Amino acid sequence: MSANFSAILYLISGVLFILALRGLSSPETSRQGNLFGILGMIIAVTVTFLSVGNFTAGFIYVLIFLAIGGSIGAFIAYRIPMTAMPELVAGFHSLVGLAAVFVAISAFINPQAFNLGTPGNIKLASLIEMAIGAAVGAITFSGSIIAFLKLQGIMSGAPITFKGQHILNALLLILIFILTFYLCSTQSSHLFWIIIAVSFLIGFLIIIPIGGADMPVVISMLNSYSGWAAAGIGFTLENTALIITGALVGSSGAILSYIMCKGMNRSFFSVILGGFGATEQSAGTQNKEQKPVKSGNADDAAFLMKNASSVIIVPGYGMAVAQAQHALREMVDTLKKNDIKVSYAIHPVAGRMPGHMNVLLAEANVPYDEVFELEEINNDFANADVAFVIGANDVTNPVAKTDPQSPIYGMPVLDVEKCKSVLFVKRSLSPGYAGIDNDLFYKENTLMLFADAKKMTEDITKNL
Amino acid sequence: MEIDPFIFRLSIFILTIFVGYYVVWSVTPSLHTPLMSVTNAISSVIIVGAIIAALSGNDGAVFTSSSIFGFLAIILAAVNIFGGFLVTQRMLAMYKKKKKDK
């Protein structure tokens, strides 16, 4: 196959990837979009096989390894519960990062295979691209591993900070640039290995200070990094499909990070510098004992909801932890039978990754046209009878609007307190991730339901 | 003077960043999780590099120091491609509209 022809086919597969993302603009077109993506991938892989044209023993092994990886992937895809989606995505990012490192290493050891020169005499531009691809890939890998461990609960979600952390990170980053410079002048393989090792270390160090609830930003950011790593390798291999994909994924992840930061009213840098939550803990918890709290049981909640004409449900991470989405849907079905209007309100940073709550609700067969984003639904709270907060906390805290001293001041929140009554399902009065007390607990019209989210929801359904 | 092909690749790269910017802003927020899993799947197109690397060995020796890294990368990328697309498909299949006859 001629080089020009394969380049055109790579371009086509790049365009198909753009269409795959384009499809996600609405749920109706999204399934078709995914097929475009699969088609693009098939084209890219086939073209590569044909253009290498080396159908020898090695080719058989390629197919075998492809099948091994593919079956592992398929197995995971079918077995993974929807609540574990953030961990899965973090894990997958680490694989892309590591694959980028491996490809870069291989290209460094055997540059002839990629037409990049000979060992010890690699083209300058390729060497720089290779080093960037490998470094970003390595950062993505170790960063994603830490994110995965934190999400999985193997590692504590609490931020790990130490003195001089940021200076150390900055120094290591500068070190990478210096090493790359010397790599270009000496072509020494030792330097190449050191660059990769230092990059692994950086990835590890930049994620450990970031706390559990900042994970939506971290995952989006690593998503972006995995794209830039792919683009770096794409430049090395002079492959359009990889360059297009890398740029797409890179900008996609960057936009998601931006949306998540905006949802928390925090600058990207303050998230990355980390340590949020650990220091604020003491300030909020001082005088909570004095304030009275109204608490109720499933019976009271059922009574309130039965007499309502409209209910808005506010799900949060707690719903995912308790796996309460199906029980919630059943409760809503019962409410609907009693002609009560029900809608769902989702805060941009609810859950541990962008769109996390939407997927869980979709899994429980909640139609997506009953689920609304913050801006779409916020004005409706004033007209609703009951707000049912399940597993959310900070995203409903009115303090964000009233108290300029509060660490979450300015963060967009759901106006839950405007409802006639608020039902708040929570296991205890403990503050949320931001470490601050939620004023909503002590409002006249709030009824606290202290229980496991799933159990409480089931009990309410029984009482309806 | 001839233009270095690198400049053309750079042009594609920069323009695609803009394409990505506009395309991703049009993605509905409720599909942000599938967006992440599908971007993850397509970024595994890095497998093309892995395949070239894996087949770089000569006929006599399938496994050389460079091709072994290629083979490892193929496994990793394949996990991602199949896992990423299938889990996206599984998620998207769950997004349903309200039944009209209700």
Residue A54: pLDDT over 60: yes
| Cα–Cα dist B93/A397, whole Å | 34
Confidence of residue A95 (pLDDT cuts 50, 70, 90): very high
Confidence check on the interface: ipTM exceeds 0.90, yes or no: yes
Q: Is A152 helix (H, G, I), strand (E, B) or coil?
A: helix
| Cα–Cα dist A181/A67, whole Å | 39
pLDDT of amino acid A288: 47
| Cα–Cα dist A263/A215, whole Å | 13
Residue A129: pLDDT over 50: yes
pTM: 0.89
| Catalytic site residue from A214, A333, A394, A403 | A394
Distances (CA, A) of A100 to A93, A278, B6: 11, 35, 20
Residue A274: pLDDT over 90: no
Nearest residue, CB atoms, B76 vs list A38, A74, A99: A99
Residue A286: pLDDT over 50: no
Q: Which of residues 177-196 of A touch B (CB under 8 A)?
A: none
Q: Considering only A20-24, A267-271, B30-34, which range has the smallest mean pLDDT?
A: A267-271
Q: What is the mean pLDDT of residues B64-76?
A: 90
pLDDT tens, A59-69? 888 999 999 99
Q: Is A303 helix (H, G, I), strand (E, B) or coil?
A: helix
Q: Phi/psi of residue A122, each to 5°? A: -85, 145
| Cα–Cα dist B33/A346, whole Å | 14
Distances (CA, A) of A99 to A11, A87, A268, A375, B41: 22, 19, 27, 40, 13
Q: Considering only A17-31, A107-121, A273-287, A428-442, which range has the smallest mean pLDDT?
A: A273-287
Residue B46: pLDDT over 90: yes
pLDDT tens, A389-417? 998 888 888 888 888 877 778 888 898 88
Chain B residues within 8 A of A18 when measuring between CB atoms: 16, 19-20, 23
Residue B62: pLDDT over 90: no
| Cα–Cα dist B78/B73, whole Å | 8
Q: Which of residues 269-288 of A touch B (CB under 8 A)?
A: none
Compare A101 and A165 and report the one with higher pLDDT.
A101
- Chain-wide mean pLDDT for chain A? 87
Is B93 in Cβ contact with A242 (below 8 Å)?
no
Confidence of residue B22 (pLDDT cuts 50, 70, 90): very high
Compare A140 and A435 and report the one with higher pLDDT.
A140
Q: What is the mean pLDDT of residues A1-7?
A: 85
Closest CA of chain A from B63, distance in Å: 8
Is A113 in Cβ contact with B13 (below 8 Å)?
no
Q: What is the mean pLDDT of residues B65-88?
A: 93
Is A244 in Cβ contact with B94 (below 8 Å)?
no
Cα-Cα end-to-end distance for chain B? 70
pLDDT of amino acid A283: 42
Residue A233: pLDDT over 70: yes
pLDDT tens, A223-232? 999 999 999 9
Residue A137: pLDDT over 80: yes
- % chain B with pLDDT above 90: 66
Residue A280: pLDDT over 50: no
- % chain A with pLDDT above 90: 42
Q: What is the mean pLDDT of residues B48-72?
A: 83
pLDDT of amino acid A8: 93
Confidence of residue A19 (pLDDT cuts 50, 70, 90): very high
Q: What is the mean pLDDT of residues A184-212?
A: 89
Residue A295: pLDDT over 70: yes
